[in-house]
């Protein structure tokens, strides 16, 4: 059982870290007078309203009104808790946290040792590649792949020679061989895990090596590539390969190029496409998308041209959409992957690349074209089949996008709308948690048979489109809602503040049953207009209704007070009623 950290630990860490430097790892800040400004990482915006005060070591966003100190910032941006933020910042500041449990401390120490060792290994391999005769096979492989020395050095490529060279190196440096095994660098017999391979460090977004991918230089070797195992320093699916090198260019160009393989990325950087990264070692994961979203809202997906590559691209499109990221998909023609495409283009690579990017359809269109590929749309049977596939494609997107996508699909295919209207059973097949029985659409069976009120409508809308909270929460307070809507409203708002737009899916299981039911029904059958403007309108109507209710309450009270001849109370209530009446009239005029 870990004991909570003392206030001392927070104070000590706070004194040692600089909020501006911490924020700058996530947000581009511009200095104005003594303060810093940037685009808020916690809400969507085009002009900077995120403000950092270096003197007070505090931050405030004028857009979403979030604020706090360095701990709250790290908590929000790393999606961790106060304790996690303390740990991250303590590590950064070199502050030893005294009250870690023995297991936690051991794990933290081990991780730190492994990270140092991984850095050392990368340096050793790089040294062998360029400065040791044993590195010759690695240099030949790079030459055959047309990877120039400058690019290779940027990625810190290296070569692991045969035998026990690395073990001897560690012994000379008086390092623990057991740690090297733990880090996945060495086998139990002391031989190098990556022997006779070109090694590619997999580094985090700050450039720290966490693991390696290694390609054999031997023609007779069956396993072309091998990867580091998961270790206390490396969790697969949490790292984006190349992000440390690409992050500035991603910010500059406004999008990241996401590829599949490490060599795709290396070749791309060599050809000047320096905003390229890869989902290293796995299919794209939720964590990786979240990491990328810290740097951009748009991904250009360039996957292999084969069927597996196209399927991977579709999955990535959906995953990105779930995180409100835009995608485009570029397909390399006459080549199996971007690496081959760019190498074949030679000196023309940059030009061919621009042509490819210019042609890239949006992720949604890409999936649409794929759904209709090979079908003849003048044949009615084929049209029906294509419509079915399109329906399946569309229903996998977040509900807020589906209506627009159905419209676009209709126009694109030239079919009538009913062919593309989702059927309840298909909705259920999308993998989203969905209530067993839902009405045909949001209007007929809005929320478990209860009559559709403005409050219910708003709750459904917020369930489908939680970002609308950003607008709504400044418009109404929970006590303006009907009593039966208040609990779920507050719960969803708290979830949103904690977990953002995707928080609801994660926390829903902990909601009371009838609230879960309302949310699931809304997901299954979204209300007709899922739009932030509509949410604001609804909030205004709720506010107005609440004010009218209060007004008639005061009038009732007033007649009571008059009967009781309580003149002081009468005067007070009259004033209240007048003021409220004016406010209502104002709202009605605007409304």
Chain residues that interact with Zn ion, rule: CB under 5 A: 40, 42-43, 61, 63-64
Q: How far apart are the first and last CA of the chain?
A: 56
Q: Which is nearer to Zn ion, 40 or 371 (CB)?
A: 40
Q: Which is nearer to Zn ion, 21 or 67 (CB)?
A: 67
- List 34's β-bridge partners, or say none: none
Give the Cβ contact number of residue 284 at 10 Å: 25
Give the Cβ contact number of residue 131 at 10 Å: 9
Query: Shortest approach of Zn ion to residue 409 CB, angstroms?
Result: 34
Are 177 and 171 spatial neighbours (Cβ–Cβ below 8 Å)?
yes
Q: Which residue has the tokens 């748009």?
A: 298
Query: Shortest approach of Zn ion to residue 184 CB, angstroms?
Result: 40
Q: Which is nearer to Zn ion, 45 or 179 (CB)?
A: 45
Query: Shortest approach of Zn ion to residue 39 CB, angstroms?
Result: 9
Are 195 and 161 spatial neighbours (Cβ–Cβ below 8 Å)?
yes
Q: Which is nearer to Zn ion, 27 or 476 (CB)?
A: 27
Q: Which is nearer to Zn ion, 19 or 561 (CB)?
A: 19
Query: Shortest approach of Zn ion to residue 31 CB, angstroms?
Result: 19
Report residue 43 as tokens. Answer: 């809400």
Q: Which is nearer to Zn ion, 42 or 73 (CB)?
A: 42
Q: Which is nearer to Zn ion, 61 or 273 (CB)?
A: 61
Q: Which is nearer to Zn ion, 67 or 582 (CB)?
A: 67
Query: Shortest approach of Zn ion to residue 60 CB, angstroms?
Result: 9
Query: Shortest approach of Zn ion to residue 290 CB, angstroms?
Result: 17
The rounded distance, in Å, linking the Cα atoms of 418 and 421 is 5
The rounded distance, in Å, linking the Cα atoms of 313 and 290 is 17
**517: part of which helix (H) or strand (E)?**
helix 513-524
DSSP 17: S
The rounded distance, in Å, linking the Cα atoms of 574 and 577 is 5
Query: Shortest approach of Zn ion to residue 288 CB, angstroms?
Result: 24
Query: Shortest approach of Zn ion to residue 41 CB, angstroms?
Result: 8
Per-residue DSSP letters for 367-387? HHHHHHTT--TTSHHHHHHHH
Query: Shortest approach of Zn ion to residue 432 CB, angstroms?
Result: 28
Q: Which is nearer to Zn ion, 467 or 584 (CB)?
A: 467
With H, G, I as helix, E, B as strand and everything else as coil, classify residue 570: helix
Query: Shortest approach of Zn ion to residue 25 CB, angstroms?
Result: 17
Q: Which is nearer to Zn ion, 43 or 352 (CB)?
A: 43
327 φ, ψ to 5°? Answer: -135, 155
Query: Shortest approach of Zn ion to residue 62 CB, angstroms?
Result: 8
Say if strands 50-53 and 197-203 run parallel, antiparallel, or are unpaired: unpaired
DSSP 175: -
Per-residue three-class SS string for 21-48 = HHHHCCCCCEEECCEEEECCCCCCCCCC
Q: Which is nearer to Zn ion, 27 or 266 (CB)?
A: 27
Q: Which is nearer to Zn ion, 65 or 355 (CB)?
A: 65
Query: Shortest approach of Zn ion to residue 473 CB, angstroms?
Result: 13
The rounded distance, in Å, linking the Cα atoms of 453 and 215 is 62
Are 277 and 257 spatial neighbours (Cβ–Cβ below 8 Å)?
yes
The rounded distance, in Å, linking the Cα atoms of 105 and 475 is 46
The rounded distance, in Å, linking the Cα atoms of 285 and 63 is 30
Q: Which is nearer to Zn ion, 43 or 145 (CB)?
A: 43
Query: Shortest approach of Zn ion to residue 474 CB, angstroms?
Result: 12
Q: Which residue has the tokens 């399109």?
A: 390
Query: Shortest approach of Zn ion to residue 28 CB, angstroms?
Result: 15
Give the Cβ contact number of residue 168 at 10 Å: 11
Q: Which is nearer to Zn ion, 42 or 166 (CB)?
A: 42
- Which residues contact residue 543 at a Cβ distance below 8 angstroms, ignoring those fewer than 6 apart? 475, 476, 480, 587
Are 308 and 260 spatial neighbours (Cβ–Cβ below 8 Å)?
no
The rounded distance, in Å, linking the Cα atoms of 335 and 514 is 53
Could you give the count of Cα atoms lying within 13 Å of 550 in the half-sphere of its Cβ?
20
The rounded distance, in Å, linking the Cα atoms of 374 and 372 is 6
């Amino acid at each position: 059982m870990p004991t909570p950290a003392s206030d001392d630990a927070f104070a000590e860490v706070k004194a040692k870290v600089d909020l501006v430097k911490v924020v700058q790892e996530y947000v581009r800040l511009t200095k104005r007078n003594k303060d810093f400004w940037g685009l808020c990482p916690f809400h969507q915006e085009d002009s900077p309203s995120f403000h950092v005060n270096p003197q007070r070591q505090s931050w405030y966003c004028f857009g979403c009104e979030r604020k706090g100190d360095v701990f709250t910032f790290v908590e929000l941006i790393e999606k961790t808790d106060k304790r996690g933020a303390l740990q991250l910042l303590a590590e950064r500041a070199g502050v030893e946290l005294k009250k870690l449990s023995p297991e936690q401390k051991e794990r933290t120490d081990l991780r730190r040792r492994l990270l140092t060792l991984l850095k050392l290994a990368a340096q050793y391999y790089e040294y062998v590649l360029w400065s040791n005769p044993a590195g010759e096979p690695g240099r030949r492989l790079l030459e055959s792949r047309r990877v120039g020395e400058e690019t290779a050095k940027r990625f810190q490529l290296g070569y692991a020679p045969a035998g026990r060279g690395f073990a001897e190196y560690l012994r000379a440096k008086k390092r623990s061989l057991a740690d090297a095994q733990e880090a996945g660098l060495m086998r139990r017999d002391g031989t190098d895990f990556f022997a006779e391979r070109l090694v590619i460090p997999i580094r985090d977004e700050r450039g720290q090596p966490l693991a390696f991918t290694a390609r054999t230089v031997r023609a007779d070797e069956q396993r072309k590539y091998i990867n580091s195992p998961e270790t206390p320093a490396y969790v697969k699916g949490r790292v984006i390969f190349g992000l440390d090198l690409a992050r500035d260019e991603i910010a500059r160009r406004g999008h990241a190029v996401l590829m599949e393989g490490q060599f795709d990325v290396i070749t791309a950087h060599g050809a000047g496409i320096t905003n390229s990264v890869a989902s290293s070692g796995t299919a794209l994961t939720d964590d990786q998308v979240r990491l990328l979203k810290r740097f951009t809202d748009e991904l250009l997906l360039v996957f292999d041209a084969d069927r597996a590559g196209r399927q991977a691209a579709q999955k990535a499109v959906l995953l990105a959409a779930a995180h409100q990221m835009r995608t485009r998909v570029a397909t390399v023609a006459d080549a199996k992957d971007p690496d081959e495409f760019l190498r074949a283009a030679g000196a023309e690579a940059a030009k061919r690349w621009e042509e490819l990017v210019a042609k890239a359809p949006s992720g949604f269109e890409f999936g649409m074209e794929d759904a209709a590929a090979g079908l003849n749309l003048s044949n009615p049977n084929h049209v029906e089949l294509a419509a079915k596939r399109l329906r399946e494609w569309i229903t996998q997107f977040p509900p807020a996008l589906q209506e627009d996508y159905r419209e676009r699909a209709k126009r694109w295919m030239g079919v009538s709308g009913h062919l593309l209207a989702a059927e309840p059973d298909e909705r259920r097949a999308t993998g989203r948690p969905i209530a067993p029985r839902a009405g045909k659409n949001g209007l007929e069976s809005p929320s478990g048979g209860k009559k559709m009120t403005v409050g219910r409508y708003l709750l459904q809308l917020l369930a489908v489109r939680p970002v609308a909270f950003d607008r709504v929460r400044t418009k109404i307070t929970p006590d303006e809602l009907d009593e039966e809507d208040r609990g779920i409203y507050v719960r969803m708002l708290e979830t949103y503040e904690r977990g953002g737009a995707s928080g609801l899916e994660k926390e829903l299981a902990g909601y009371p049953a009838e609230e879960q039911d309302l949310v699931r029904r809304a997901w299954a059958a979204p209300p007709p207009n899922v739009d932030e403007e509509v949410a604001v309108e609804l909030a205004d109507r709720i506010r107005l209704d609440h004010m009218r209710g209060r007004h008639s309450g005061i009038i009732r009270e007033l007649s009571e007070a008059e009967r009781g001849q309580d003149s002081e109370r009468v005067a007070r209530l009259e004033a209240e009623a007048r003021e409220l009446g004016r406010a209502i009239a104002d709202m009605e005029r605007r409304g």
